[in-house]
Amino acid sequence: MTTALHETAEAQACCAPLVAAPISPADADALARTLKALADPARLRLLSLVAAHDGGEACVCDLTDPVGLSQPTVSHHLKVLVDAGLLTRDKRGVWAYYALVPDTLDSVAAALGTQLRS
Amino acid sequence: MTTALHETAEAQACCAPLVAAPISPADADALARTLKALADPARLRLLSLVAAHDGGEACVCDLTDPVGLSQPTVSHHLKVLVDAGLLTRDKRGVWAYYALVPDTLDSVAAALGTQLRS
DNA sequence: TGTCGATATTGACGCTCGTCGATGTCTGGG
DNA sequence: CCCAGACATCGACGAGCGTCAATATCGACA
């Protein structure tokens, strides 16, 4: 409960393509919050590692070494990504498995892209 | 070439779709730098205002009021966006006209999207 | 030349963020 | 019942960011 109140998965980062019409302050804030979660090299690598891992999921122990950060730091980054609705957390036994939420990433991409696709 | 070469417009934020294969540390850093420039409500609104403005360009005086920030702050944000290769600056007479660089935004969207198109 | 207006730069402030070590909290096994 | 291991939380530190007021710069015009 550090700050935010956007606990888990609000999915829709925004709406219109951003370049079509002026974005509303509220939408800008929501989109910026999701982008802030993405705007970190370690978190981008974690997201990529999780997505590319076997079965589309990975536990913390799979991620600590590749990114070269301490376990608390990796857990912190993963929490940020989960809170932003970019990852899901599934605790099975002793391990916590993280998996990608493709919709969130796609909605961000759609909000940024200028050439809209069907 | 390890650091500090993002002076003006390096356009390509990254390359592969991020979810296909683990992103390299260097690519993660480059993409994160572009995303950091985007991850601010004021800058998103400025970007949107510029893109939606008549002729696809706008000067600082057109932007100060809509975003509700002081002129130095707006100039600062615009500089950040220009340095990230997201906007171009064209000084004509006393006014400075900013315009969108669509390629950069599209390459970011392409790097984030999971459903790749042609 | 001198003034005015548009924009950029500077310096400073408070706040947020990324990182770590230390510690807490669970779960499974002996 | 207690230990070992996986993960989360806490507290702290330094760095970076967003914002503003004050000031500098630069072009147009009288």
Mean pLDDT of successive 10-residue segments in chain A (118 residues)?
Answer: 39 72 95 98 98 96 97 98 98 97 95 76
For strand C, the positions having any atom within 7 A of a protein Cβ are 5-11, 16-22, 26-28
Contacts of B14 (CB under 8 A, 6+ apart): B23, B27, B30, B31, B107, B108, B111
Per the prediction, chain B carries an average pLDDT of 88
Q: Which two tokens stand for residue A102?
A: 């493709």
Taking the C-alpha atoms of residue A40 and residue A46, their distance in angstroms, rounded to an integer, is: 10
The tally of domains found in chain B comes to 1
Taking a C-beta distance cutoff of 8 angstroms, is the pair A89, A98 a contact? yes
- Parent domain of A94: 25-108
Q: What is the CATH number of the domain that holds A70?
A: 1.10.10.10
E-strand stretches of A28-78: 57-59
Residue B30 in any domain: the answer is yes
- Complex confidence, ipTM: 0.90
Taking CB atoms and an 8 Å cutoff, what residues of chain B touch A114? 51, 100, 102, 105-106, 109
CA-based R_g, chain B, Å? 15
Residue B20 in any domain: the answer is no
Residue B61 in any domain: the answer is yes
Touching check for A62 and chain B: CB below 8 Å? no
For B5-53, write each residue's pLDDT tens digit.
344 344 456 667 898 889 999 999 999 999 999 999 999 999 999 999 9
Residue A11 in any domain: the answer is no
Residue A117 in any domain: the answer is no
Give the pLDDT score at B44: 98
Residue B9 in any domain: the answer is no
Give the pLDDT score at A115: 79
**What residue of B is the nearest CA neighbor of A46?**
B22
Taking CB atoms and an 8 Å cutoff, what residues of chain A touch B52? 19-22
Kindly report the number of other CB atoms within 10 A of residue A20's CB atom. 12
For B60-110, write each residue's pLDDT tens digit.
999 999 999 999 999 999 999 999 999 999 999 999 999 999 999 999 999
Q: In what order do the strands lie in the sheet with B57-59?
A: B57-59, B95-100, B87-92
Residue B95 in any domain: the answer is yes
Kindly report the number of other CB atoms within 10 A of residue A72's CB atom. 10
The answer to whether some atom of strand D lies closer than 7 Å to the beta carbon of B94 is yes
CB–CB contact B45 A39 (8 Å)? no
Confidence of residue B113 (pLDDT cuts 50, 70, 90): confident
Residue B45 in any domain: the answer is yes
Touching check for B13 and chain A: CB below 8 Å? no
Taking the C-alpha atoms of residue B109 and residue A1, their distance in angstroms, rounded to an integer, is: 31
Q: Which residues pair with B98 in a beta bridge?
A: B58, B89
φ and ψ of B3, to 5 deg:
-135, 170
